Structure 1
Amino acid sequence: MRDELEEALRHSQDGYGRAQHINQVDLPKRFYKSVDVARVEDGYVVTLDGRQVRTPAQKIPVVVQALSIARAMAEEWAAQGEYINPATMPMVRLINAAVESGESTAPAFRAEVGKFVAGDLLLYRADKPQELVAEQEAVWDAVLVKLARQFDVAFQPTIGILHQEQPASTLTKLDEALEGQGLHALTALVSITGLTGSGLLAIALLHQLLTADEAWTAAHLDEDFQIRLWGADEEAMERRAQRRVEFDTAVAVVEALRA
């Protein structure tokens, strides 16, 4: 399911998608000296040599609602060397993705989180070995209990991979938990959902029921169990570290816009 969402993002968020494949194109040379943050009527912008930053494909002016997001973007622009490498600019890529996708995509992004909730990672359990079963029960059930208490919902976890229908009232209430989130926040929540494989973890983070570390640990419980059994693959761990950077970036956006 995580792969399906990432594929959808490559098509629906053109600026973000191109950055995922940055190694396939030549990197542009740095063309600016100074980087600043400025206040404008609608929010905050990053300027390069006094000119407002625009998105790479559609050349749309980039305006954000939180100063912390603008500062994070400015730090990424300032950190570039002789060449501009979008792979080292997770905040810029995420915000560009939101801006270039357009406000009309916000309902689809909200619905995407809901699709994951309906068949969520936390709801499909192993039947063996017992150590993994116990870990899933301890960690994942704790998340479900917090969500159940917060939103007055019930879940139907199942063993195996056959689809288990969740109560309609649960899905409705959890969709309502995303009410009022703007395009930038929803883009970040879709990113969190894709990186963790869980819409429930994204909603729990949004409503401060979990810390970022707790959500990341829950999302990788199965993977960590396999690592303890068979050891870690170096390349896989490098990919995981990069995903953690993207995850933390998305969490920072959610937290900034919530504040």
Structure 2
Amino acid sequence: MSDWKLKRFWDNAHVTPTAEGFAIELDGRGVKTPAKAPLIVPTQALADRIAREWNAVEEMIDPGTMPFTRSSNAAIDKVTLQHAEIADMLAAYGDADLTCYRAAAPQPLTELQAREWDPLLAWAEKTLSARLIPVQGVMHAPQNPQALRVLSDQVHALDVFALTAFHDLVSLSGSLVIGFAAMHGLHDPQTLWRLSRIDEQWQEDQWGKDDEAMAMAARKESDFLHAHAFYNLSRPRG
């Protein structure tokens, strides 16, 4: 990661079409990932956003200010090599999906969960062809293996850029269903993030806000929104 410590040495970052996609070049020299692979992404929209990050660098390269570069590096250097393992890990969320685990009490919370999460499960059954069953309590209750296979196949079918985004959409929300809903555009990402935090919001409403928890939630929300944007930018138009 030593390359990230370099000062700005280029005048202009720009996008160049290639046979594999769209490369980002610095004064005509192609940008490399930390693993020294060419930084080539599938769409011009994503490449343009990455080039903007490089052009915005003032003195030192700071990966914290370059999220689209960082996610693209992860897709190329990590997800490409571990696609099956990552897909398996994410597909496993279907057997313990956030939207399926409901409180037994109090009644206002159970009604809120049903009102907000039941439509998500109905959408998953219709759109993803997978019927997941809600249960009360926190003890694991296995889902139908056929439904899980259907969901797993759809996760494994994602390309490396989509799977990179999906990793954060699912792991941050705790829900395979919400991750798919984000990619399918069921709701705007802010609404989907809110749906993933029903339990936390209920606790805040009952007991008050905790500054540290709120700061962590804000960081997670920012990462969730970025993952949604990264996914959309990586999709070919038309």
Measure the CA separation in 1 of the matches of 2:79 and 2:152: 21
Q: Deviations over 1:83-118 (max 9, x none)?
A: 221112211111111111153411222212211111
Measure the CA separation in 1 of the matches of 2:101 and 2:26: 48
Name the residue aligned to 1:64: 41
Measure the CA separation in 2 of the matches of 1:110 and 1:68: 25
Preserved contact between residue 109 and residue 187 of structure 1 (Cα < 8 Å) = no
Name the residue aligned to 2:140: 163
2:152 partner amino acid: D
Measure the CA separation in 1 of the matches of 2:98 and 2:107: 18
The 5-angstrom pairing of residues 104-143 of structure 1 reads 104-143=81-120
Name the residue aligned to 2:196: 219
Q: Deviations over 1:186-229 (max 9, x none)?
A: 11101111111111111222233333122111111111222222
**Judging changes above 3 Å, is the alpha-carbon distance between structure 1 residues 191 and 53 closer, same or farther for their aligned structure 2 residues?**
same
Measure the CA separation in 1 of the matches of 2:232 and 2:124: 18
CA displacement at 1:27 relative to structure 2 = 4.7
Name the residue aligned to 1:21: none
Name the residue aligned to 1:172: 149
**Judging changes above 3 Å, is the alpha-carbon distance between structure 1 residues 32 and 237 closer, same or farther for their aligned structure 2 residues?**
farther
Q: TM-score, normalised to structure 1's length? A: 0.82
Preserved contact between residue 79 and residue 163 of structure 2 (Cα < 8 Å) = no
Preserved contact between residue 192 and residue 202 of structure 1 (Cα < 8 Å) = yes
Name the residue aligned to 1:209: 186
Name the residue aligned to 1:53: 31
Q: Which moved more, 1:213-222 or 1:138-147?
A: 213-222
CA displacement at 1:166 relative to structure 2 = 0.2
Preserved contact between residue 91 and residue 155 of structure 2 (Cα < 8 Å) = no
Q: TM-score, normalised to structure 2's length? A: 0.89
Name the residue aligned to 1:198: 175
Measure the CA separation in 2 of the matches of 1:86 and 1:218: 30
Name the residue aligned to 1:29: 7
Measure the CA separation in 1 of the matches of 2:92 and 2:41: 27
Q: Deviations over 1:221-240 (max 9, x none)?
A: 11122222233333433333
Paired residue secondary structure (1:177): helix
CA displacement at 1:50 relative to structure 2 = 2.1
Q: Deviations over 1:153-192 (max 9, x none)?
A: 3222111111101001111111233353211111110111
Preserved contact between residue 116 and residue 198 of structure 1 (Cα < 8 Å) = yes
Count residues with an aligned counterpart.
Answer: 235
Q: Does the alignment pair 1:183 with 2:160?
A: yes
Could you tell me which runs of 5 or more consecutive residues in structure 1 were left unpaired when the two chains were aligned.
1-14, 19-25
Q: CA RMSD in A?
A: 2.1
Q: Does the alignment pair 1:82 with 2:82?
A: no
Amino-acid identity (%): 31
2:142 partner amino acid: E
